[in-house]
Amino acid sequence: MIFASFEFLALFLPLFFACYFLMPFRHRNWVILLFSWGFYAWWRVDFLALLIAVTGFTYTVARLMDRAGPKSDRAKLLMILGLVGNLGVLAYFKYANFGVATVNQLRGAMGLSLMSWTEVLLPIGLSFYVLQSVSYLVDIRRGTVPVSRSLLDYAAYKAIFSQLIAGPIVRYAEIANELKLREHSLRQFGIGGRTFAIGFAMKVAVADTLSPLVDAAFSLTQPTLADSWIAALSYTLQLYFDFAGYSLMAIGLARMIGFYFPQNFDNPYLSGSIQEFWQRWHMTLSRFLRDYLYIPLGGNRSGPVRTYVNLMLVMAIGGLWHGSSWNFILWGVWQGALLGTHRWWSRRRPPGAPTLAYPLANALTMLAVMIGWVIFRAKDLESAGHVYAGMLGLNGIGLSDDFLWQITPDRLWFIPVALAIVYVPLLRDRLSRPRPAHPHPGTPAVPEMSGLRLAAWTVSPFAAFTLAIVMLYSRDAVPFLYFQF
């Protein structure tokens, strides 16, 4: 079941909220758990068994760690057991196919017989809920989070349907208190609903409209300069509106039942550097990589060379987390190289030396990001090579016939529409302050309103939502891009 579907909007959600709010508070986590498991089983019932197994295993290990004393050696061993178990499941389901394919390529090249192998299906959301387990076990060892003594609470935390499939990656510590006690009110419900509506419109009206354009462009074998740049730009926009829209929907749904989920996107395409970009893009993943990988590896405390190696390693692993292919590894390496270059350049620049003008810095950052998205989106290295060749103009300049017939005016128009939405916050902030922190799209930081403006602020998210519903109904649903990771 996906959020942008009528079985979710017209059956699941009304039924869930009715049961949830009719139930006394002490039973509401049961409602969350059972509905979330139902939501998950809608794809594949057998995958639910894996989720339950991972939940039970991690909960048991955490309880044993707590009993042994989180700082004890036994707890350390138990944590390692818990991490190996969780990451082992991830490795098997996500990387075994890739590993066997790579080994077979090598064996084939050496003239050896190929290993026989049955393709393993990746359970949806596994990458996300395994990271939750990792953060939970490590945090218990670090003593930064109390162990959950209620299996129901812990299982409900793992399963909350709004974040189960594609994040944000919520840490147990962030909602531990809310699992026990949370506020419900019409106002909270409204804020959550508004956030959900904005996310829904971003996903359905913008990202899904661009989707056919992206699919068409990335399937060309000889894209021209125009084809390739439209491909790169439209995918850059599609990915952001899809994933940020999904994150807002998840955050909004959680808020409707009293949970405060962490922000996942903060206008990343307004960044003036690649470092800033990673502070604003998929923030819960960046935070995870920093706290559970970069810092344990030594971060920037072990000398410059080690810092660059750590950056590269962390981003390559981050790339590999997205999927088991060379595309994702190279994308991660590209990000690591960009972060390393940025760090080197920042250190080399004398204090007080002028920085790049913001428009130029933003343009350069976005160029680097777009180049990265091409390999991220392409189905294999060969396809990525086609688009890169096109971007250099090696296959001609103007739109190719193969692409032209698939461009419809609405798809094309949504490129400037999406760009305008991306850059509107910048314009708004520039008009009010020199360069403030950018407000989250779901909670605008311009509160002073009255009359018509207030009315527009109240109604506009739902007008956009209604428009998105109309658009959704007149075409097939497009799955969320991050479901594949």
Partner 1 sequence: MDAPLNRPIVANTRSRRSSRDISERLQGALVVGLLALGAWQGFSALATPAAQRRLAQVRSLDALLDGRAAAAVNFVEAHYLPADPILRAAGGVFRWRLFGSGGPQVAVGCDDWLYLTEEAQTVRGAEENLAARADIVAQVAAALARRGIELVVAVVPDKARIERATLCNAPRTAQSMARYGIFQAMLRERRIASLDLARRLEQARQEGPVYYRTDTHWNQRGAAIAAKAVAEAVTTTLDPGFAYRTEAAPVETDGPGDLLRLMSLDLVPETLSPLGIKLRPASDRQFVARTVQTEKPAEADDLLATGPGDQVVLIGSSYSTNANFQGSLQEALRAPVNNVAEAGGGFSGAASTYFGGSAFAESPPRLIVWEIPERALSKPLQAQDRALAELK
| 435 lies in the site for partner 1, by CB under 8 A | no
Candidate residues 405, 420, 430, 436; the one interacting with partner 1 per rule CB under 8 A: 405
Candidate residues 19, 299, 477, 483; the one interacting with partner 1 per rule CB under 8 A: 477
CB of 374 to partner 1, least distance (A): 22
Of the candidate spans 63-71, 119-127, 333-341, 407-415, the one that interacts with partner 1 by CB under 8 A turns out to be 407-415
CB of 474 to partner 1, least distance (A): 3
Q: Closest CB to partner 1 among 1 and 87?
A: 1
Catalytic position from the list 27, 184, 322, 342? 322
CA angle 68, 72, 73 (to 5 degrees): 110
Report the Cα–Cα distance between both ends of the chain, in Å, rounded: 16
Q: Closest CB to partner 1 among 41 and 317?
A: 41
Q: Closest CB to partner 1 among 73 and 448?
A: 448
Site string for partner 1, 37-56 (x = CB under 8 A): -----xxxxx----------
Q: Closest CB to partner 1 among 192 and 372?
A: 192
Is 322 known to be catalytic?
A: yes
Candidate residues 404, 424, 427, 445; the one interacting with partner 1 per rule CB under 8 A: 404
Q: Closest CB to partner 1 among 211 and 271?
A: 211
**CA-CA distance, 268 to 32, in Å (whole number)?**
32
Q: Closest CB to partner 1 among 80 and 470?
A: 470
Of the candidate spans 128-136, 279-287, 388-396, 400-408, the one that interacts with partner 1 by CB under 8 A turns out to be 400-408
Residues of this chain, 129-188, that bind partner 1 according to CB under 8 A: 185-188
**Closest of 48, 71, 55 to residue 136, by C-alpha:** 55
CB of 45 to partner 1, least distance (A): 5
Q: Closest CB to partner 1 among 20 and 277?
A: 20
CB of 89 to partner 1, least distance (A): 22
| 9 lies in the site for partner 1, by CB under 8 A | yes
Task: Confirm if 11 and 17 have CB atoms less than 8 A apart.
Answer: no
Candidate residues 212, 262, 439, 479; the one interacting with partner 1 per rule CB under 8 A: 212
Of the candidate spans 297-305, 311-319, 374-382, 467-475, the one that interacts with partner 1 by CB under 8 A turns out to be 467-475
221-224 long-range contacts (CB < 8 A, ≥24 apart) are: 221/386, 222/386, 222/390, 222/395, 222/396, 222/400, 222/402, 223/386, 223/387, 223/389, 223/390, 223/395, 223/400, 223/403, 224/390, 224/393, 224/395, 224/396, 224/397, 224/398, 224/399, 224/400, 224/403
| 397 lies in the site for partner 1, by CB under 8 A | no
Candidate residues 73, 183, 382, 448; the one interacting with partner 1 per rule CB under 8 A: 448
| 461 lies in the site for partner 1, by CB under 8 A | yes
**CA-CA distance, 195 to 255, in Å (whole number)?**
9
Instruction: List residues near partner 1 by CB under 8 A.
Output: 1, 5-7, 9-11, 13-15, 17-18, 42-46, 185-194, 212, 256, 401-402, 404-411, 413, 447-450, 454, 457-458, 461-462, 465, 467, 469-471, 473-475, 477
Positions marked active-site: 322
